[in-house]
Chain A
């Protein structure tokens, strides 16, 4: 598994890619692997607000439900419609095509509290 250097990571296994004042959020490859076959993704409405550390949606595998926590705060400007039809894409491309939401950052500094790729890799290595 490779974790892009341009992404930041949370202990709950979400990733964030910041581009200016906007961010793309997803779950990590480690997370999708742990969940197994993903069959359902619940995402918030565009225009609603994400608050760092709070659940904004959920991912369900055959076996279990897992909440997804916002790694950053801000207005949700887009949700990935692909996942309502093809939730299994999360198993195939969690770091790319199967992103979850886009957020307009309200507190850009929050990003500094997240892990970089090397730290996250160490973190999941220790966890498993």
Chain B
């Protein structure tokens, strides 16, 4: 992106700057990467509660008598299985089977679906879905009507509960409801991207500052912290959740990315299905697998991975895992090698450093 392009701002931009967050360019958005420190923020979410401004995320609404048909046509998971008020994780694919994006699909009513998509993909996703729309359905770009605030951690429920009459205990994981938070209308989704329990609140942009402030106040007794994209990344990596542009992109199909569980071949035709069928017949050649460093050193995004001195793959995401106190990561390896227990070497500044593939997720919360 040219330097002259103005970075986009969320409705909470001023709030972040006034509490001295460190801001970075994240896919064209001026976003907080950290407030007090990534480790402190990470730990707040694992042990108490943290709040994230994720208003950069995109929203797309699909409405009409054939909304469900369109959603099923463009996404890999089976939208027909969703009940009203339920959400699931899904993929948007190209015909060749690679990812356009990974998304959350919420069923708002029999003829309305609400998609949460990645910030830097939102225009592309919208155009893609529209180009595939031969149904009696409208595709509406809704990002400017929503700010999103994620409240995550074992104390997230207690924090948000103080601000709403909706009984949050009745919202099951990956379900949502429309209600009020801090006196303003909010879509309250029991979802998250941290591996911890939590809620994602979709509110009008003009309410964002009010809700943000109310959440911080409600969480005070649990030592709530505002958290940036830095902690969001370490948290999602420990939970082995994919990040577009890292684990998945247009060159990667869901089977390679260990996301077969979001592909429902039996539901009928969808964009990318023919290519995936071929992949199933032929088998994948490479697969995503987790690793831990066994020697001093940190494998990071993009580093080359060797097996017995031979270039064999690359790291998609890697770094320190604050909860585990280890250096972890995800990498693509030839399919036969992409199993736990494989010795690998990570090339760190031209030096091979020992690591080993391990089972994932790296971190799983106690239920």
- Say whether B90 faces chain A, with CB atoms less than 8 Å apart: no
| Stretch from A2-10, A17-25, A44-52, A57-65 at the B interface | A57-65
The bracket for how many chain A residues form the interface is 10 to 19
Complex CA gap A65/B303 in Å reads 12
Q: Which residues of chain A from 47 to 79 have any CB-CB distance to chain B below 8 Å in the complex?
A: 58, 60-63, 65
10 contacts between A and B (CB under 8 A): A36-B22, A37-B37, A39-B298, A40-B296, A40-B298, A40-B320, A61-B38, A62-B230, A63-B38, A84-B296
Chain A residues, Cβ within 8 Å of B300: 65
Chain B residues, Cβ within 8 Å of A42: 296-297
Residue of A nearest to B39 (CB): A37
Complex CA gap A84/B230 in Å reads 23
Q: Mark B318-362, 1 if CB is under 8 A from A, else 0.
A: 011010000100000000000000000000010000000000000
- Say whether B72 faces chain A, with CB atoms less than 8 Å apart: no
- Say whether B12 faces chain A, with CB atoms less than 8 Å apart: no
Q: Mark A8-37, 1 if CB is under 8 A from B, else 0.
A: 000000000000000000000000000011
Q: Mark B1-41, 1 if CB is under 8 A from A, else 0.
A: 00000000000000000000010000000000110011110
Chain A residues, Cβ within 8 Å of B319: 62-63
Given contacts A40-B327, A63-B233, 9 further A-B contacts (CB under 8 A): A37-B38, A37-B40, A39-B320, A40-B296, A40-B298, A40-B320, A60-B298, A62-B322, A63-B33
Q: How far is the CB of A63 from chain B (nearest CB, A)?
A: 5
Main secondary structure of the interface of A (DSSP, over half): strand
Q: For the complex of A and B, list the 8 residue pairs with the smallest distance between their C-beta atoms, beginning with the closest.
A: A62-B38, A37-B39, A39-B320, A37-B37, A63-B230, A37-B38, A62-B320, A60-B298
Q: Give the interface of B toward A (CB within 8 A).
A: 22, 33-34, 37-40, 230, 233-234, 296-298, 300, 319-320, 322, 327, 349
Main secondary structure of the interface of B (DSSP, over half): mixed
* Contact A62 B234, CB 8 Å, known A37-B37, A39-B320: yes
Q: How far is the CB of B323 from chain A (nearest CB, A)?
A: 12
Residue of A nearest to B22 (CB): A36
Q: How far is the CB of B49 from chain A (nearest CB, A)?
A: 20
Complex CA gap A121/B230 in Å reads 28
Residue of B nearest to A34 (CB): B22
Residue of A nearest to B320 (CB): A39
Chain A residues, Cβ within 8 Å of B40: 37
Q: How far is the CB of A39 from chain B (nearest CB, A)?
A: 5
Chain B residues, Cβ within 8 Å of A36: 22, 34, 37-38, 230
Residue of A nearest to B319 (CB): A62
Q: How far is the CB of A45 from chain B (nearest CB, A)?
A: 13
Q: How far is the CB of A18 from chain B (nearest CB, A)?
A: 29
Residue of A nearest to B37 (CB): A37
Chain B residues, Cβ within 8 Å of A39: 298, 320
A62/B33 in contact, CB under 8 A = no
Say which residue of A58, A62, A84 sits within 8 Å of B39 (CB atoms).
Answer: A62
Complex CA gap A61/B233 in Å reads 14
Residue of B nearest to A84 (CB): B296
Q: How far is the CB of A38 from chain B (nearest CB, A)?
A: 10
Chain B residues, Cβ within 8 Å of A61: 38
Chain A residues, Cβ within 8 Å of B233: 63
Residue of A nearest to B233 (CB): A63
Complex CA gap A63/B320 in Å reads 9
Chain B residues, Cβ within 8 Å of A60: 298
Complex CA gap A62/B298 in Å reads 10
Complex CA gap A37/B321 in Å reads 12
Chain A residues, Cβ within 8 Å of B320: 39-40, 62
Most buried by B among A37, A40, A61, A84: A37
Complex CA gap A42/B297 in Å reads 8
Chain A residues, Cβ within 8 Å of B327: 40
Q: How far is the CB of B338 from chain A (nearest CB, A)?
A: 26
Complex CA gap A62/B40 in Å reads 11
Residue of A nearest to B229 (CB): A63
Complex CA gap A84/B298 in Å reads 13
